Amino acid sequence: MVDQPIKTIAIIGGGITGLASAYYLQKRLKQEGLPHEVLLIEADPRLGGKIKTTVKDGFIIERGPESFPAQNSHVVRLAREVGMEEQLVSMKDGGLSVLVRETLYPLPKGTLIGIPMQLAPFLRTQSISLFGKLRAVADLILPRSKEKKDQSFGGFIRRRLGDEVFENLTEPVLSNIVAGDLDGISLISTFPDFYETQQKHRSLIMGLKKNTASKEHSTTRSDQQTFKAGMESFIQAIEGKLAPETFLKGVRVREIDKVNDEYVIQLNNNSTVHAASVIVATPHQASYNMFANYPYFDMLREMSAISVATISLAFDEDAFNVELVGSGFVVSRNSDYTVTCCSYTHKKWPHMTPAGKILLRCYIGRSGDETVVDLSDEEIIRIVLDDLNKTMSITKEPDFALISRWKKTMPQYTVGHKEKVEQLKKSIRTELPGVFLAGSSYDGFSLPDCIGQSEKVVKEVFDFIQQVDATPIKTVSVH
């Protein structure tokens, strides 16, 4: 214990970003022998945010995120820290198909998010016409993109590989990750590597191929991992490493104001918390509301988000007349489907399904087609079953169906997003020093991106508290 003023460092939001920040902050405080208090304020009585697992009748059902890449992952590092390494389990990849119009085609081997890197399997696929293939191969001779600024991801892929590859391969594969309008989203904020690769190698196809070979990255999806008992077990493990008094659950932050050298956090139970530094790890709409008095936060009000829903359907094995091939399919917009993708969970993650059962997880909702998320459970289940029955013959009703609606939760990084976020953070550094933003609305929305932001923001908090000689707030013991 060091004899110095104790400061409160508040974290708003107990999703993976806030929780990982709390873990790394507490760890660093202990390492440095600093007595400061970490207080995480979460509106919900439960931690985890979008990470939510339901265990029902022997099924493990993910309501939100399901997995993350195993290699170079911030998730794996944190899992190791909290003793969850043994619980990691790898996906069994049976191959993904793409549904174009009414037909399922296996995704050609050697594609990276729907971008061909091996020409032979790409030239053999029937999901792309001969003209579409020739147009894509033109990438090998097209000059470098002259665009130096940010640009639309869709525009970039369409220019390099043509409309058909974009619409029937790239966009469907990304549809359940981004959910938005890929023609409107930012290349630099979502796939900066693609821009750099193409600038370096001229051809996107050849560049990705060389990168993948040199990094020894797998080009399949089999390097995905999850936790044996479900994603929420990871949240519980992180929570278990922190003292119970770290958390203020079931309390919503209404407003944050700078008063002299500290931040006054107004809560919806009419109490206040005073903090020397605040990590704001809530979705951008909530963060905007907390700082609505500060005009430079307007960027967050203007930022859009898409609604999606996941529908998990549990069946008896004999409900299907045909064998389900591979591990699922994604749907091209050129198909008359509401479902945007469907995972054969029982094949990808056998441990999540009891013997003799089948578990499918479908997504609905994407840019231009979000209202479907607001339909009743019965309507959604009927639409999904009708869609599935176009390619597979289901002879029995599901044992049960679980719908999770995620309204306005998929943040859209439109062109210019990175610059706008940098500008906002710059204004905050000047006007609200000690306040830091992190999470899925800013620098990447995957779980590794969110935890990566937590690691970064904890360093920034430390730099800040070391620089500032803040007034003592209160004296409490640190665990």
Ligand X SMILES: Cc1cc2nc3c(=O)[nH]c(=O)nc-3n(C[C@H](O)[C@H](O)[C@H](O)COP(=O)(O)OP(=O)(O)OC[C@H]3O[C@@H](n4cnc5c(N)ncnc54)[C@H](O)[C@@H]3O)c2cc1C
* Residue 270 CA neighbour count, 13 Å, CB half: 0
Q: Which of 157, 204, 432, 447 binds ligand X (CB under 6 A)?
A: 447
Does the footprint of ligand X cover residue 12 (CB under 6 A)? yes
> Can residue 108 be called a binding residue for ligand X (CB under 6 A)?
no
**Min dist. Cβ of residue 470 to ligand X (A):** 23
Which of 7, 15, 162, 288 binds ligand X (CB under 6 A)? It is 15
Instruction: Please state, in angstroms and rounded to a whole number, the distance separating the CA atoms of residues 60 and 67.
Output: 13
- Cα gap 329→173, rounded to integer Å: 9
In eight-state DSSP terms, residue 358 is: E
Pick 35 or 326: Cβ nearer ligand X: 326
Distance, CA of 246 to CA of 183 (rounded, Å): 43
327 binds ligand X (CB under 6 A): no
C-alpha separations of 279 from 7, 70, 461 in Å: 14, 27, 8
Binding test (CB under 6 A) with ligand X, winner from 11, 91, 128, 281: 281
Encoded tokens for 110: 């050697």
- Shortest distance (Å) from residue 210 CB to ligand X: 26
| Residue whose CB is less far from ligand X, 122 or 247 | 247
User: Does 64 sit near ligand X (CB under 6 A)?
Assistant: yes
State which residue, 164 or 239, has the beta carbon closest to ligand X.
239
**13 binds ligand X, rule: CB under 6 A:** yes
User: Rule CB under 6 A: is residue 132 a binding residue for ligand X?
Assistant: no
Q: Which residue in the set 26, 36, 42, 156 belongs to the binding site for ligand X (CB under 6 A)?
A: 42
Closest CA to 155 of 209, 210, 121, 198: 198
Told to check if 452 binds ligand X by CB under 6 A, we report: no
According to DSSP, the β-strands at 328-331 and 400-411 are: unpaired
Q: Which residues contact 295 (CB under 8 A, 6 or more apart)?
A: none
H or E element that contains 44:
none
Minimum separation from the CB atom of position 267 to ligand X (A): 8
- Angstrom distance (rounded) from CA 396 to CA 315: 8
Q: Which of 114, 154, 283, 398 binds ligand X (CB under 6 A)?
A: 283
- The answer to whether 18 contacts ligand X (rule: CB under 6 A) is yes
By CB under 6 A, the count of residues binding ligand X is: 35
Among 36, 50, 405, 417, binds ligand X (CB under 6 A): 50
3-state class of 45 per DSSP? coil
Q: DSSP secondary-structure letter at 323?
A: P
- Partner residues linked to 360 by β-bridges: 313, 344
Instruction: Single out the residue of 174, 226, 172, 221 nearest to residue 61, CA to CA.
Output: 226
Which residue's CB is nearer to ligand X, number 59 or number 349? Answer: 349
| Site residues (CB under 6 A) for ligand X, limited to 379-438 | 406, 409
Name the residue among 380, 250, 249, 359 with its Cα closest to residue 307: 380
* Among the listed residues 84, 308, 358, 435, the single contact to ligand X using CB under 6 A: 308
Q: Do 457 and 438 touch, CB atoms closer than 8 A?
A: yes
Mark the segment that binds ligand X (CB under 6 A) among 115-123, 213-221, 392-400, 439-447.
439-447
Residues that bind ligand X (CB under 6 A): 12-18, 41-44, 49-51, 64-68, 252-253, 281-283, 286, 308, 310, 406, 409, 439-440, 445-447, 450
